[in-house]
Amino acid sequence: MNDENDKLKALMGAKRFDVEHALAMYALSFFHFPAKQLYDSDLLKRLGERVHNSHIYLVGFVPRIDLVGVRQNGRKLLVEFKRNGAALEVELPLPEGLELDYVEETWHLTDEEGNRFAPTDEQLMQALTLQHGIPEFEVVYVGQAYGKGGSRSAIDRLRKHETLQKIALTGVPDGYRLELLLLEIEPATTMFTVLNPWAKDSSAGQDRIGQGLDKLFGTSEHERITLYEASLIRHFRPPYNTEFKNSFPSTNLKVLADCYDKDFAAVVAEICFDVPPFQLFSESAPVQRDIVIRHDLHNDEDRKIFFSKG
3-state SS of 207-224 is HHHHHHHHHHHHCCHHHH
Taking 80 as the threshold, does the pLDDT of residue 155 lie above it? yes
Looking at the structure, do residues 155 and 282 belong to the same domain, yes or no?
Answer: yes
Q: How many CA atoms lie within 13 A of 130 on its CB side?
A: 10
Residues 81-126: pLDDT tens digits? 998 888 999 999 998 989 999 887 789 899 888 899 888 888 888 8
Between 93 and 153, the higher pLDDT residue: 93
Q: Which residue, 106, 132, 158, sits at the end of a domain?
A: 132
Is 119 among the domain residues? Answer: yes
Residues 264 and 258: their CA atoms lie apart, in Å, by 9
Taking 80 as the threshold, does the pLDDT of residue 260 lie above it? yes
Q: For residue 11, what pLDDT is reported?
A: 83
Above pLDDT 70, what percent of the chain? 98
Dihedral (C-alpha) 108, 111, 113, 119: value to the nearest 10 degrees?
Answer: -50
Using CA of residue 95, residue 97, residue 100, residue 101, what is the dihedral sign? negative
Q: What is the mean pLDDT of residues 147-169?
A: 87
Q: For residue 148, what pLDDT is reported?
A: 78
Looking at the structure, do residues 108 and 245 belong to the same domain, yes or no?
Answer: no
| Contact partners, residue 99, CB within 8 Å, separation at least 6 | 72, 109, 110
Average pLDDT, the chain: 90
Looking at the structure, do residues 59 and 116 belong to the same domain, yes or no?
Answer: no
Looking at the structure, do residues 183 and 292 belong to the same domain, yes or no?
Answer: yes
Question: Under a CB-based contact definition with an 8 Å cutoff, are residues 245 and 286 in contact?
Answer: no
Q: For residue 125, what pLDDT is reported?
A: 86
Looking at the structure, do residues 71 and 161 belong to the same domain, yes or no?
Answer: no
Looking at the structure, do residues 74 and 167 belong to the same domain, yes or no?
Answer: no
Is 69 among the domain residues? Answer: yes
What radius of gyration, in Å, describes the C-alpha atoms of the chain? Answer: 24
Taking 70 as the threshold, does the pLDDT of residue 309 lie above it? no
Residues 243-255: pLDDT tens digits? 999 889 998 899 9
Is 309 among the domain residues? Answer: no
Is 91 among the domain residues? Answer: yes
Taking 60 as the threshold, does the pLDDT of residue 308 lie above it? no
Kind plus residue range of the DSSP H or E element containing 261: helix 257-261
Looking at the structure, do residues 25 and 121 belong to the same domain, yes or no?
Answer: no
Q: Which residue, 74, 103, 132, sits at the end of a domain?
A: 132
Q: For residue 167, what pLDDT is reported?
A: 94
Residues 307 and 310: their CA atoms lie apart, in Å, by 10
Is 308 among the domain residues? Answer: no
Spell out a b/e string for 11-33, using b for 16 or more CB atoms within 10 Å of the CB, else e. ebeebbbbbbbbbbbbbeebbbb
Looking at the structure, do residues 149 and 296 belong to the same domain, yes or no?
Answer: yes
Q: For residue 307, what pLDDT is reported?
A: 64
Give ∠ CA 272-173-279 in degrees, rounded to 5: 15
Q: Which residue, 85, 117, 132, sits at the end of a domain?
A: 132
Looking at the structure, do residues 58 and 206 belong to the same domain, yes or no?
Answer: yes
Residues 31-86: pLDDT tens digits? 999 999 998 888 888 888 888 889 999 999 999 988 999 999 999 999 999 988 88
Looking at the structure, do residues 192 and 164 belong to the same domain, yes or no?
Answer: yes
Q: How many domains are contained in the chain?
A: 2
Question: Under a CB-based contact definition with an 8 Å cutoff, are residues 182 and 57 in contact?
Answer: yes
Residues 182-211: pLDDT tens digits? 999 998 889 999 998 988 888 888 999 999
Is 7 among the domain residues? Answer: no
Above pLDDT 90, what percent of the chain? 58
Looking at the structure, do residues 176 and 209 belong to the same domain, yes or no?
Answer: yes
Task: Locate all alpha helices (DSSP H) within 1-63, ordered by sequence.
Answer: 2-13, 43-47
Question: Under a CB-based contact definition with an 8 Å cutoff, are residues 99 and 106 in contact?
Answer: no
Is 258 among the domain residues? Answer: yes
Q: For residue 1, what pLDDT is reported?
A: 54
Nearest to 219 by CA among 180, 264, 179: 264
Q: Confidence class of residue 9 from pLDDT cuts 50, 70 and 90? A: confident
- 166 φ, ψ to 5°? -65, -45
**Structural domain span for residue 143:** 12-63+136-303
Looking at the structure, do residues 155 and 256 belong to the same domain, yes or no?
Answer: yes
Is 5 among the domain residues? Answer: no
Taking 80 as the threshold, does the pLDDT of residue 152 lie above it? yes
Q: Please state, in angstroms and as integers, the Cα–Cα distance from residue 12 to each residue in 208, 264, 265, following that order.
A: 17, 17, 15
